[in-house]
Amino acid sequence: MVNSLNIHNFRCFREASLGSLRQFNIIVGDNGSGKTSLLEAIFLLASASPGGWFKLRFWRGLSQTIKLTGTRSSYESIFRDLFHNFNSDAGTSISMVDSNSGRRSLNISYSGRRTYKLPSGGRVDNVYLIEPIVFHWRLKDRSFKTKVVVSPKDGTLQIEGEREVYPAWFSSPAIPEGQNAAYMFSEMSQQNKSGPLVSLLCSVFPQVKAVTLESVAGELVVCVQMDHLNEKLPIGSVSAGISKFFSIVVAIASNHDGVLLIDEFEEGFYYDHIPVLLEKICSFCEECNVQFFASTHSYEFLQRMLPVFKKREGTPAQFALIRATRDTDQCRLTTVGDPSAAIENDLEVR
């Protein structure tokens, strides 16, 4: 389990730290208070390549196509909002302490020269005269660096190196998860490990009778057999809630000893189903030793979540509520000890 987390100069956080994290961590707060940025910090730290940053940009609504103009400013604009208040000189650092593997940290900065002397006269072949951004990961007993460089031939971005990742999976309403779920389910099916997942889905949604992988227009798709249909349907065409639950449990099964990051957990789920869904997800996380971080805007979700945690043994050791707030120029994170009494009495904890 991730026991503590420290963030410096990342997105909306100038400085933020969390200690005493639990297996199940719920993040609450107003819009723009840093809930998603907290999940992104963990995801970026867990990755082992700057490609993690490009995924986050895409999930935030930016294009996957990057067009550089041959200037340093166009290159650095890709990473501009990575740094708090756009202050790249301070660099970004994210670190965590894990109960098993110890400390893992990530430092992101531009190193080396910031000004250059061009030759007088003559021709400059490479207009991309920049110092590339460096992502530097440190683990307990080793470290590695990767860079995002610009090809002198065609001006495309190239990512150097990729090493040891920390098992983490990010879920958000902005992420199309069907393809990833299909590939993860395919791997488990080949290893004859998909049976428990199918049984779990069918137990929660009894209208689902079977789950298979099919080719639809040349694309690998998870399909389900419903009790009232003669043919199978892609799971996303049946129900957003069923599809999301399936993606979550497949990710848990594929990331043993890892971290599950879910932005807006309640999205797509009917409120009355949340206790059962959450109970199944928590039990599966315990079985696979997966840590759970989820953000929510819904007080109704908190109310329906509370009985699930209260009836589990050792609730105080399992559950933490993280509150994100925004000051004028930065966001802050605090841990609420035991919010049970406040939620039960309809006191605002968000």
* pLDDT by 10-residue block (mean), the chain, 350 residues: 94 94 91 94 93 92 82 87 93 92 92 53 52 90 86 74 80 81 91 90 92 90 91 91 93 92 91 88 91 88 79 66 90 79 56
| Statement to judge: residues 151 and 200 lie in one domain | no
In a domain, 35, yes or no: no
Token couple for 83: 């740094």
| Statement to judge: residues 196 and 224 lie in one domain | yes
| Statement to judge: residues 338 and 249 lie in one domain | yes
| Statement to judge: residues 77 and 200 lie in one domain | no
| Statement to judge: residues 265 and 326 lie in one domain | yes
In a domain, 42, yes or no: no
Q: Which domain holds residue 119?
A: 2-20+48-165
| Statement to judge: residues 12 and 160 lie in one domain | yes
HEC string of the chain?
CEEEEEEEEECCEEEEEECCCCCEEEEEECCCCCHHHHHHHHHHHHCCCCHHHHHHHHHCCCCCCCCCCCCHHHHHCCCHHHEHHHCHHHCEEEEEEECCCEEEEEEEEECCCCCCCCCCCCCCCCCCCCCCEEEEEECCCCEEEEEEEECCCCCCEEECCCCCCCCEEEECCCCCCHHHHHHHHHHHHHCCCCHHHHHHHHHHCCCEEEEEEEEECCEEEEEEEECCCCCCEEHHHHCHHHHHHHHHHHHHHHCCCCEEEECCCCCCCCHHHHHHHHHHHHHHHHHHCCEEEEECCCHHHHHHHHHHHHCCCCHHHHEEEEEEEECCCCEEEEEECCCHHHHHCCCCCC
| Statement to judge: residues 242 and 143 lie in one domain | no
Domain total in the chain: 2
In a domain, 30, yes or no: no
In a domain, 200, yes or no: yes
| Statement to judge: residues 186 and 321 lie in one domain | yes
pLDDT in the model for residue 107: 96
In a domain, 123, yes or no: yes
| Statement to judge: residues 90 and 12 lie in one domain | yes
In a domain, 37, yes or no: no
- pTM of structure: 0.89
| Statement to judge: residues 111 and 249 lie in one domain | no
- pLDDT digits 0-9 by tens, 203-243: 999 999 999 999 888 889 999 999 888 999 999 899 889 99
Of the candidates 140, 165, 190, which is a domain's last residue? 165
| Statement to judge: residues 221 and 244 lie in one domain | yes
Of the candidates 117, 132, 165, which is a domain's last residue? 165
In a domain, 350, yes or no: no
| Statement to judge: residues 205 and 322 lie in one domain | yes
In a domain, 225, yes or no: yes
Of the candidates 110, 133, 165, which is a domain's last residue? 165
pLDDT in the model for residue 116: 46
Provide the CATH number for the domain around residue 279. Answer: 3.40.50.300
